[in-house]
Amino acid sequence: MSFTQQKEEREIEEALVKDLQAGNLEAYDKIAESYQKKIYGLSFNLMRNQMDAQDVTQEVLLTLFRKINTFQGKSAFSSWVYRITLNASYMKLRSKKKEPNVSIDELLPSFNGAGFQQEKIQDWSENTESLLFSNETKDVIKKAVDLLPEKEKVVFLLRDVEGLSTEKVSEILDLTVPAVKSRLHRARLFLRKKLSGYFEEYRSKKGEA
């Protein structure tokens, strides 16, 4: 998207928000329509449960409606929507039994005293194209993301999955830019390690066949 397009979209959205603040219900429809997939997608990826994601989406849409006058425009409207979505998802997650988190450090790369790779690294990156379409691969990927600790997971979902900029993620989560970068890097390392186990096993099976 070009800079001009982005600017135009932002202006349209700002106008919609103003209309909604003035009580225009048509503006509400448009806002709900343009955000519900984002809200649902993010909450589903955080909770991996259709009913919960539906509840959260309803709650967020309702909050947007009821609290629109508390939105002061200090941050982007979309950042406000993402924050409400995250809060609602976390409330929902907290009300459920929590799975014990895996320690991320155990899955980070290990090096010897001189700083050289200690483990054997296989390059499975060229095999992924054909594998990506299998449901088994998709399940492995989803499970790996589910295992990420909360702090790293949210940064990963906003930055790498939603495709938001580092600056925007730092605004939404009220984190510094270096903190966002460091969490994202750790999340990618963790996921790389998790996926490596799966793809390397696949390669060796294929080699045997």
Partner 1 sequence: MICCKECVDLLYEYIEGSLDSGTTKSLEEHFQECPPCIAFFNTYKSTRTLCRDTLNEIEIPDEVRHTLQSFLKEQKKQQEKK
Binding site for partner 1 (CB under 8 A): 25, 28-29, 32, 36-37, 40-41, 44-45, 50, 53-54, 57-58, 61-62, 65, 109, 111, 114-117, 120-126, 128, 132, 137-138, 141-142, 144-145, 156-157, 160-161, 163, 181, 184-185, 188-189, 191-192, 195-196, 199
Q: Compare residues 8 and 201 and give the one whose CB is closer to partner 1.
A: 201
Q: Compare residues 11 and 177 and give the one whose CB is closer to partner 1.
A: 177
Distance, C-alpha 146 to centroid of its chain: 11
Distance, C-alpha 99 to centroid of its chain: 19
What 3-state DSSP class applies to 117?
A: strand
Q: Compare residues 7 and 138 and give the one whose CB is closer to partner 1.
A: 138
Q: Compare residues 8 and 119 and give the one whose CB is closer to partner 1.
A: 119
Nearest to 9 by CA among 41, 39, 42, 34: 34
CB of 23 to partner 1, least distance (A): 8
Helix 3-21 and helix 77-94, axial crossing angle in degrees, nearest 10: 70
CB of 34 to partner 1, least distance (A): 13
Instruction: Report the phi/psi class of residue 202: left, alpha or beta, with left for phi > 0 and alpha for psi in -120 to 50.
Output: alpha
